[in-house]
């Protein structure tokens, strides 16, 4: 999944980005309110982590602008413990959750997983399709009970496909949600990753579940 972190304290932003990347997410970082708002409106994100105290434009003003533009991306507010009024106001403006600083890494990970599940059809932390099971907490993928070794990028693509099973996903959509802004636009690399995933899954005895739609993209569905 692709996450935007809007945090002016560079040490905090770097730390949060590191934690999220360990969770297999692609992460973009903005260090002020205006650039965070611009990124949120111009790119496609699955989750936004938004600090309240930001230079240029504060987090609550950014949140208001995003919701006024109709952006429904889940927002997790980051705030100091003393900012109770601001946290309440943020929730009233459309934030989905808040996390008080300083926070525990385990809580950050749990809240991120919870928000990513919130709009999904399946609320379980384990995503399944046929004989395949992906554990979003342990970051393990098993086919017929056998552990499958995946690279971070393969895991991220598979998670995105599973969260959107039975939905046609273009190469552009996959790139937007799995890569950060450094993606250079060579969609051939997505074909390579899809081919690797298919091979690994089918070598474990699972029938084909990732299907190619000519001139459309890919869809993950139950084996035929």
pLDDT at residue 122, as a whole number: 52
pLDDT at residue 182, as a whole number: 67
| pLDDT, tens digit, 9 for 90 and up, residues 20-52 | 999 989 999 999 999 999 999 998 899 999 999
pLDDT at residue 66, as a whole number: 95
Average pLDDT, rounded, for the chain: 90
Q: What is the pTM of this model?
A: 0.79
pLDDT at residue 109, as a whole number: 94
For residues 96-106, average pLDDT: 91
pLDDT at residue 194, as a whole number: 95
pLDDT tier for residue 168 given thresholds of 50, 70 and 90: very high
Q: Where are the domains of the chain?
A: 2-118, 126-220
**Angle, alpha carbons 3-186-154 (nearest 5°):** 55
Q: Ranked by mean pLDDT, which of 76-85, 126-135, 184-193 comes out on top?
A: 126-135
| C-alpha 98: how far from chain center | 17
**How many CA within 13 A on the CB side of residue 149?**
0
Say which CATH class 126-220 falls into: mainly alpha
117 vs 133: which has the higher pLDDT: 133
pLDDT tops 80 at residue 5:
yes
> What kind of fold does domain 2-118 have according to CATH?
Rossmann fold (3.40.50)
């Amino acid at each position: 999944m692709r996450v935007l972190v809007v945090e002016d304290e560079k040490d905090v932003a770097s730390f949060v980005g590191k934690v999220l990347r360990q969770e297999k997410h692609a992460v973009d970082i903005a260090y002020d309110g205006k650039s965070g708002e611009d990124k949120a409106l111009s790119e496609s994100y699955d989750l936004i982590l938004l600090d309240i105290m930001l230079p240029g434009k504060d987090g609550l003003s950014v949140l208001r602008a995003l919701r006024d533009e109709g952006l429904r991306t889940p927002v997790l507010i980051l705030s100091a413990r003393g900012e109770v009024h601001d946290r309440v106001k943020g929730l009233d403006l459309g934030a989905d959750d808040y996390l008080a600083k300083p926070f525990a890494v385990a809580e950050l990970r749990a809240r991120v997983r919870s928000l990513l599940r919130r709009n999904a059809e399946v609320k379980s932390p384990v995503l399944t399709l046929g004989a395949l099971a992906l554990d979003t907490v342990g970051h393990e993928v098993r086919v017929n009970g056998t552990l499958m070794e995946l690279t971070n990028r393969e895991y991220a693509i598979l998670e995105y496909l599973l969260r959107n099973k039975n939905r046609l996903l273009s190469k552009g959509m996959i790139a937007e949600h799995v890569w950060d802004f450094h993606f250079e636009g060579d969609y051939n690399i997505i074909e390579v990753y899809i081919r690797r995933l298919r091979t690994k899954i089918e070598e474990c005895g699972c029938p084909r579940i990732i299907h190619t739609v000519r001139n459309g993209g890919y869809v993950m569905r139950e084996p035929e």
